[in-house]
Every structure is written in structure tokens, then in C-alpha cells.
Structure 1
Amino acid sequence: MLRLRECVLSRLLSSPPTSPICSLRRLLSATASPPISPNPSTFAVEEYLVDTCGLTRPQALKASKKLSHLKSPTKPDAVLAFLSCLGLSAADVAAVVAKDPRFLCAKVEKTLAPVVDGLTGLGLSRPEIARLGSLAHSGFRCRSIVSKLHYYLPLLGSFHNFLRLFKHSSHLLFSDLDKVVKPNVVFLHECGLGDCDIAKLCIAVPRMLTTNPERVAAMVACAERLGVPRGAGMFRQALQAVAFLSEEKIAARLDYLKNTFGWSDAEASIAVRRFPSVLRNSNESLKRRSEFLVSEVGLEPASIAHRPVILSLSLEGRLRPRYYVIKFLKENGLLDGDLSFFTAVKMTENVFMEKLISPHKEAAPHLAEDYATACKGEVPTNFRFI
């Protein structure tokens, strides 16, 4: 009988799934006749976890401590059959069990099957439900997952967005919707953010929805003190920039900006209002950009403060290569007019190629090749200036 059960489970874990619930009931019926009557005294949980669930020996030893009450493989067999019919691979099943051993004790007909039915009713496909099952672990064996997905999917715009957020903040399935999540969403709406803005904000700052509402209010107040009021176009970026940063860290970052770029208080304020994300740049990144833009390119600090988005552009992949092209063209008399560096770096790649590379194919036949090389972080001989 034990061999029969193992053969059936092996077939379940290796065969292509069909309808999860129907296949489950059919296959479980197959294992039930003739009935299996395992000897409780011979059921070894650790061995079951290794041989049937695919856990490593250390994983099984740790997991077995949470399953010591099991006297029979009946429930685990049913759960494994269910997960297999749902579409989880053997590796996915092993990961779920290792992360949440008590998943093997879930009630299939009373919990797991209704969850799948509910998620299907929300429009999730079977592969999407299987993906959620492989990630949600204990959250998937709580029927409240359906009501929470019913709320999150419209808010975040898609199941894909939900998964992106959930991977970094599993608290989504365990936080109190009425006391925490919904009050935060209402408050963010009051601050002028739409659902799309909230989705982008939360994907960038995963804990935003599940943190204490009072703390979210404090973050909003901090963004406003930086000169970015609610409803402003840069408010979401400002909120994202100050999220979970203390007042001391923000003050220290402002001081570093002023010292590194030679900005006054007013210029630093302008830069932060126009590009709040500058507060998230690392000190090393800011230092290298300052050395290049001020010392090498010769830009005035005030000019950078009024166009701070330039600090978000790749130094090696965009700023340096385009500066080399402009300098090369100017020194060889190939540049008509007085093109500013700011204008050049704001161009899309196609426009930059069309306006500054392609017209000089005859006069500078290697320009395109040299520019491509520079974009990889190398400096071609033709671009080296004394």
C-alpha cells in the first residue's frame, strides 16, 4: 500500500496538470481505493519530507519540528496532490514546504480549494494562481487572501504589479486592510495621488502601504518641508525620496549636496524641489558627478541646481560619451551653432545620433564607432584630449 501511495504521488508531481479541483478529486479518489492504513508508529515525518517533498536533510530536520504532531501522511498527501494539480513543480513544492512546513496540514476542501476558486473568480489565470501559491506560502492557506487580492488588484493595476510589490513586501497579505492599508491609501489620495501614482510609489517603496498611518503622515510632512507641496508634480518623487529616512539623514544629505556642488541653501532647495530623488543618490555617485560636471565640463554650480535631473543620468553611459562627442565636434569645426551640454544630454539616443553623429559620416567616419565604444566605458584614442 505504501508503494502504491508513493507511485501515485510520483505521478502527480510529474504529470502535466489539468483542472486543479477536478483532477484533485479524481486522483485522490484513486489513492483512496484500496484504502491506505499506515501504521502511525512507523510514519517518519523527516523521511517523508526528504523522500516525498524533496527537502534537503537539513531543511527536513528543521521543518519536522513543526510537524511532530502528524501521525499519518493522509493530509500531506492530499496537499501535495493539490499543489501538483495546481501546476507547481516539484522544486516549487519543496520551496513552499521548506518555507512553511505547516502548509502540509492545510485542509484541501475547506481552505485551499475555496482559495483557488476565489482567485479564479477575480480573473487570475491558473499559472498566476500557481505563481502566487509558490510565493505566498502561509498566506495562501488563509482564505482572507481572496478579499485582499480583490482590493489590491484594482489599486495596483495588475497582478504583475502586485507580484512585484509582494516579492519585496510579503506584509501585504498579513497587514490589516481596514486599520492600516486602506487608511494609508485614503490619505495618499487626499495628497493628490491617484491609484497609478500610488502603485508606482509602493513598487519603489514596498512598505509604504503596510506601515503605520502616522508614519506615512510624517513622511508627507517631511516632503512638504522640503518645498514640495501635496498635489505638486514632483510630490510622489519627493515622498519616495524621504520615505523611511530620518530628519538627521535628510539634513546630512542636504549638507553633502551643498558642500559637494558648492550650492547655497537656496540652490540646494531648488535642486531638491525640482529633482527630489537626488536625496537618494549615494555620496560617491554625487562626488563623481560633481568632479566631472564642474571640474571637467566646466558647468556652473547654479546651472546644475536649476537642472538637477542631469544628476540622474548615467555618468559613463551618457554624460561622458556625449561630452566627448561635443568637444570633438567643436575642436574640429564640425559643430554648427552653440549647442549646450544640457541640450545634448537630454536628447534621446535616436535624436542624438541623427543630429550629432550621422551628419558627420564623411568628415569623421569613425565617430559613430568611437561614440559606441565610449558608451561602454572606454575612451577611444580619437576622443582623448590634451
Structure 2
Amino acid sequence: MLHLRQRVLSHLLSAAPHPSTSILLPFQRLLSAAASAISPNPSFAVEEYLVSTCGLTRAQALKASAKLSHLKSPAKPDAVLAFLAGLGLSGADVAAVVARDPQILCAKVETTLSPIVAGLTGLGLSNAEIARLVSLAPAHFRCRSVVSKLEYYLPLFGPIDNLLRPLKHVLRSDLERVVKPNVKLLAECGLSACEIARLFIGAPRMFTAKPGRVLAMVACAEGIGVPRGSGMFRHALRSVAFLGEEKIASRTDYLKKTFRWSDAEVGIAVSKGPFVLVSSKDTLKRRSEFLISEVGLEPAYIARHPSLLSYSLEGRLRPRCYVMKFLTENRLLKRHTCYYTFVKATEMEFLDKFICPYKEAAPHLAEDYAAACKGEVPTRFRFT
């Protein structure tokens, strides 16, 4: 009978049926029938069960078995495995879930897992979406609070896909004492629900911080010259979220030295592009050398257009500089166009405005620009 039970489980896990809540009960009944002839075995080998039935490696099973030493029978784990298979998880998915959260095998199907799935289904989640939640956060899935938390988060975030990245943060945070007060505070700062959701996705740790800490972040964002209610406020919050005053001061000094900015100019740059506070020093240094030494831009110009520092050096800044110099040296531009105009245009806009109009005068321009975007420097783009 033990071999029969193992064969039944192997079939369920390998078949990966199309998710349907209607198949969960038959699966559980089938296993119950197979397990009914098996009395609790005091010598039940948990580690071997994890390897042979759950699909864990020997090393994973050894680690997981320490949390399951109290198990004396496969009955409860069997029911959980059948339940997970019924949700549509494959054998590999189940193995990953058990490896991450061995205690899920101890969850009660009828009184815990089934009601949770019913609650999530009532929120509009499909079995496939629920299966993804189980795979990403198995420990939280077996807690009934997951339903009430998602009931709050789904209207805020929109599609479930938006929740996948910050999922662990949102599920382990205290909804009433932490998250809701933080959301209220940010709304009072002028952020829309959409902006709050984007901030949450980009910097989920903000929402697990105590409200007092978030209030300090707000003050810090204002301190770098970005007022509440401005379009840049969300970006400023994300940039300064976990920077202390000392780090901000240190990074400000680095910016002044690297870009030759005055106090006023670094203030302008940071208020317009707060991301410069968290960009890597190497990235900033390379762009500084290129924009000042090769393009010939004045430090004040860069400070007024800090978004220049957010673009790829090899994929955008350098190739478009080549095109600008080519058009200028060959006197093809009808009027002076600043470098920022070349850079900020979308790829489609750039091609329409600076490549296509010169097909006859410069038939190789499109080809040379494409090569430059790949890191090559065509002969026609070598200027003396």
C-alpha cells in the first residue's frame, strides 16, 4: 500500500493537471483511500520521504527534515502534496515550495489551505495566479491573513503581476500599524494612488518601515530641494529612502568634484534628477568624462539636464553624439540643435528627425548609426 500511495502521488505531481478547484477534492479522497490502510508509523523516515516523494535533493531533504522531525506519518504531507498538485503546480514546483518552506507539509488542508484558496478565488484570482503566489511565498500562503492583505493590496496595485516583485514585503508587513499609515502619509504628501503603487513596487522596504521613518524620508526629500506635490517627489523619495544625511553629503561632494559643479549647480541637478544620489560612482565618472571632455558640455548645462546621466553611454549618449557631430561638420543641420535634444528623443523620433531626412545627402548615416549603437566606430564618424 505504501508503494501504491507513492505511485499515486508521483502521478499527481508529474501530470501537472490544468488548475481547477473542482479536482482538489477527488485528489484528496484518492489519497485518503490510499492512506487509510497505512497506520501511523513511528519509524516514518522524513528525509527519505522528502527525496522519494517530494523530489528534493538529498542535501535539501537533510536540511528540511530538521523542521519536520515531529511527523510520524505521511498522511498529512500526502494531502498537502495532492492539494498543491490540484492547484496546477508541477513536481518541480512542489519540490521548490517544500524546499523553501518544509512546514507547508504540516498545514491542514481542510481547515487552512482550502479556505485560503477559496478566499483568494473570491478576490478574483485564478488557480494559476494562486499557484504563483504559493511558489513565491509559500510560508505566507499558509497564513489566513494573506487573504485580507491581498484584499487591500490588489485595488492599490492593480493586476496581480504588479505585486509579484514586492510580494514578500507586502505579505510580511503589518497592514494596520505600518502599511496603511504610510499610504495615508504619502497621499497627504500629494502622491496619487498610482504613484504610491509605483513607489511601493520600486522601493517596497519603504512600506515596511515605521511611519516615523517614512516621515523622515519625506523631510529628506524636501531637504534636497524637491517639494511635496511636485512631479519629481516620488523619485526623490525613492532615491533618499535609505540614505542618511552623511551619505547624502558625501555623495553631494562627489558630484561637485566629478562634474565641477558649484553648490548651486549640484542643488539644481539633485532637485531635477534625484537618482544621481544613488547612481554608482563609476557610472557618474564615465559619463562626466564623456560629456565634458568629448561632447564639450559645460558643467552648468549638465546640471540643468541631469537626465543625461540616466542614459546608456554606449547605447545612446555616444552614438547620438557621433550623429550630431557628423551632421554639424557636414553642415546638414539647418539650425543649431543642442545635444540634449538629440539624446532625449525616443528612438523612433530620433530616426525620423535626424536620420531619415538625410538619406540622400548621407546615404550611409543609418547604417553607421546602427553600427555605433553596437559599439563600433565607422570611419565616417571619426572626427579630427
TM-score where L is the length of structure 1: 0.96
Instruction: Give the Cα separation in 2 of the matches to 1:217 and 1:84.
Output: 45
Instruction: Give the Cα separation in 1 of the matches to 2:238 and 2:135.
Output: 30
Does 2:30 match 1:30? yes
SS of residue in 2 equivalent to 1:310: helix
Instruction: Give the Cα separation in 2 of the matches to 1:124 and 1:159.
Output: 8
Cα 1:26–1:262 shift into 2, 3 Å: same
Instruction: Give the Cα separation in 2 of the matches to 1:334 and 1:270.
Output: 34
Answer yes or no: is the 8 Å Cα contact 2:170–2:204 preserved in 1: no
Answer yes or no: is the 8 Å Cα contact 1:161–1:203 preserved in 2: yes
Note the C-alpha offset of 1:18.
Answer: 5.1
Cα 1:380–1:26 shift into 2, 3 Å: same
Matched letter for residue 327 of structure 1: K
Note the C-alpha offset of 1:19.
Answer: 5.9
Instruction: Give the Cα separation in 1 of the matches to 2:139 and 2:344.
Output: 48
Q: How does 1:322-337 map to 2 (within 5 A)?
A: 322-337=320-335
- Residue 110 of structure 2: aligned partner: 109
Q: Deviations over 1:218-256 (max 9, x none)?
A: 111101111111111110011011010111111111111
SS of residue in 2 equivalent to 1:358: helix
- Residue 139 of structure 2: aligned partner: 138
SS of residue in 2 equivalent to 1:207: helix
Matched letter for residue 40 of structure 1: N
Moved more, 11-20 or 269-278: 11-20
Instruction: Give the Cα separation in 2 of the matches to 1:84 and 1:211.
Output: 37
Answer yes or no: is the 8 Å Cα contact 1:157–1:196 preserved in 2: no
SS of residue in 2 equivalent to 1:208: helix
- Residue 65 of structure 2: aligned partner: 64
Cα 1:141–1:374 shift into 2, 3 Å: same
- Residue 46 of structure 1: aligned partner: 47
Answer yes or no: is the 8 Å Cα contact 1:17–1:85 preserved in 2: yes
Note the C-alpha offset of 1:21.
Answer: 4.2
Instruction: Give the Cα separation in 2 of the matches to 1:152 and 1:181.
Output: 10
Matched letter for residue 253 of structure 2: D
- Equivalent residues, number: 383
Note the C-alpha offset of 1:290.
Answer: 1.2
Moved more, 11-20 or 134-143: 11-20
Identity over the aligned pairs, expressed in percent? 66
Q: How does 1:1-386 map to 2 (within 5 A)?
A: 1-17=1-17, 20-33=20-33, 35-38=36-39, 40-166=41-167, 170-386=168-384
Cα 1:323–1:178 shift into 2, 3 Å: same
Note the C-alpha offset of 1:28.
Answer: 2.4
Instruction: Give the Cα separation in 2 of the matches to 1:95 and 1:318.
Output: 41
Note the C-alpha offset of 1:73.
Answer: 0.3
Matched letter for residue 380 of structure 1: P
Matched letter for residue 215 of structure 1: R
Cα 1:21–1:371 shift into 2, 3 Å: closer
Cα 1:161–1:19 shift into 2, 3 Å: closer
In structure 2, runs of 5+ residues without a counterpart are none
Answer yes or no: is the 8 Å Cα contact 1:171–1:210 preserved in 2: yes
SS of residue in 1 equivalent to 2:86: helix
Instruction: Give the Cα separation in 2 of the matches to 1:160 and 1:283.
Output: 33
Cα 1:73–1:221 shift into 2, 3 Å: same
Instruction: Give the Cα separation in 1 of the matches to 2:157 and 2:207.
Output: 11
Answer yes or no: is the 8 Å Cα contact 1:20–1:82 preserved in 2: no
Alignment RMSD: 1.4
Q: Deviations over 1:255-285 (max 9, x none)?
A: 1111111111111111111111121211111
Matched letter for residue 113 of structure 1: S
Note the C-alpha offset of 1:351.
Answer: 2.0
Matched letter for residue 371 of structure 1: Y
Matched letter for residue 100 of structure 2: K
Matched letter for residue 354 of structure 1: D
Note the C-alpha offset of 1:152.
Answer: 0.8
Matched letter for residue 223 of structure 2: R
TM-score where L is the length of structure 2: 0.96
In structure 1, runs of 5+ residues without a counterpart are none
Matched letter for residue 95 of structure 2: A
Instruction: Give the Cα separation in 1 of the matches to 2:353 and 2:57.
Output: 60
Matched letter for residue 204 of structure 2: P
Moved more, 82-91 or 353-362: 353-362
SS of residue in 2 equivalent to 1:227: coil
Instruction: Give the Cα separation in 1 of the matches to 2:148 and 2:126.
Output: 17
Instruction: Give the Cα separation in 1 of the matches to 2:74 and 2:67.
Output: 15
Instruction: Give the Cα separation in 2 of the matches to 1:178 and 1:103.
Output: 26
Note the C-alpha offset of 1:137.
Answer: 1.1
Matched letter for residue 135 of structure 1: L
Matched letter for residue 114 of structure 1: P
Instruction: Give the Cα separation in 1 of the matches to 2:343 and 2:75.
Output: 65
Note the C-alpha offset of 1:289.
Answer: 1.2
Matched letter for residue 278 of structure 1: V
Note the C-alpha offset of 1:20.
Answer: 4.5
